[in-house]
Amino acid sequence: MKYITFLLFPLLFFSTQPETTDKPFVIVQLFTSQGCSSCPPADALVGKIKEEYKDQNVFVMSYHVDYWDRLGWKDPFSKREFTEIQYRYADQFRERQVYTPQIVVNGKEHFVGSDGSRLRRKIKNYLKKDAQNNIALSTQKDAKGNLLVNYNISGELKGKKLKLALVLNKHTTQIKRGENRNRTLTNSNVVLNELVLELGNKKSGSLTIPSSTLKEKGAISIIGFVQNEDLEITGANQTAI
């Protein structure tokens, strides 16, 4: 993928000013599927959490896995790479199998995704802990859907990577087949793409915005988070596009 430089095409770009997160933070990763009848309560829960903690550094992310797609309904947001992320967590947590809905908090622990009381307790606890890394994010985009994300990270970076996730803030789907047939499902902060970057001298990464979301104002955001070799998340931030 080629970068489009701001200096060469100044009229095409809309840029945001760098945003930094204050300490502390919480990343809530939900592994879900529109084809799973147990998942709608978890989808609704993370939507509520997003609203309840909108003024705090609590970042919700919905990863749609693909292993439900063969059972009557193909989730339009599912990707094999998201299933592989879930399997990596399973290996780290020494679990023999994956499941939906599953919530992972700060890459450190997991539980059933519809357990609202437990999730709120975990959020409360993590909001008392300092982050190891602070992240500043800014974006530039062009009319063709290319997005350049600039970042600056403070704190110890050895053995860590930056992940940049393009998320769809909210989407409602009419389900026509499968376990959720004839239901209307709403998903929050759906991960569309995720870019993994080695941390070094480079301070930017490029993502492509799907054309279906390009014209919707406020439809998408970038969530950036730093993750160590044990998959623990040590810092996070979000910026609107």
Pick the range with the lowest mean pLDDT from 153-167, 197-211, 223-237. Answer: 197-211
Count the Cβ atoms, other than its own, within 10 Å of residue 125: 12
Tokens of 157: 């970076």
Band (208; pLDDT cuts 50, 70, 90): confident
Average pLDDT of the segment spanning 68-87: 96
Residue 204 is predicted with a pLDDT of 86
Query: Per-residue pLDDT for 171 more than 70?
Result: yes
pTM: 0.88
Task: Please count the CA atoms within 13 angstroms of the CA of 213 that sit on its side-chain side.
Answer: 22
Classify residue 116 as exposed, middle or buried by CB count within 10 Å of its CB (0-12, 13-18, 19+): middle
Q: Which region among 105-109, 117-121, 181-185, 203-207 has the lowest average model confidence (pLDDT)?
A: 203-207
The answer to whether the CB of 236 falls within 8 A of the CB of 57 is yes
| Res. 21: pLDDT tops 60 | no
- Quick: pLDDT tens for 125-137: 999 999 999 999 9
User: What confidence tier does 216 reach under pLDDT thresholds 50, 70, 90?
Assistant: low
Domains of the chain by range and CATH? 14-240 (3.40.30.10)
User: How far is 99 from 12, CA to CA, in rounded Å?
Assistant: 43
**What is the reported pLDDT for 241?**
81
The reported pLDDT for the residue numbered 146 is: 79
Dihedral pair phi/psi, residue 181, rounded to 5°? -50, 135
Asked whether the CA dihedral 147, 63, 94, 109 is positive or negative, the reply is: positive
User: Is pLDDT above 70 for 99?
Assistant: yes
What mean pLDDT value characterizes the chain? 88
Residue owning tokens 């044990």? 230
What was the pLDDT predicted at 141? 77
145 confidence band (pLDDT: 50, 70, 90): low
Dist CA 94 CA 105 (whole Å): 16
3-state SS, residue 126: helix
User: H or E segment at 211?
Assistant: helix 211-214
State the average pLDDT over residues 56-61: 96
Q: What is the pLDDT of residue 5?
A: 34
Q: Is 145 left (phi over 0), alpha (psi -120 to 50) or beta?
A: left
* HEC letters along 38-61: CCHHHHHHHHHHHHHCCCCCEEEE
Instruction: Name the least confident of 7-21, 67-81, 136-150, 164-178.
Output: 7-21
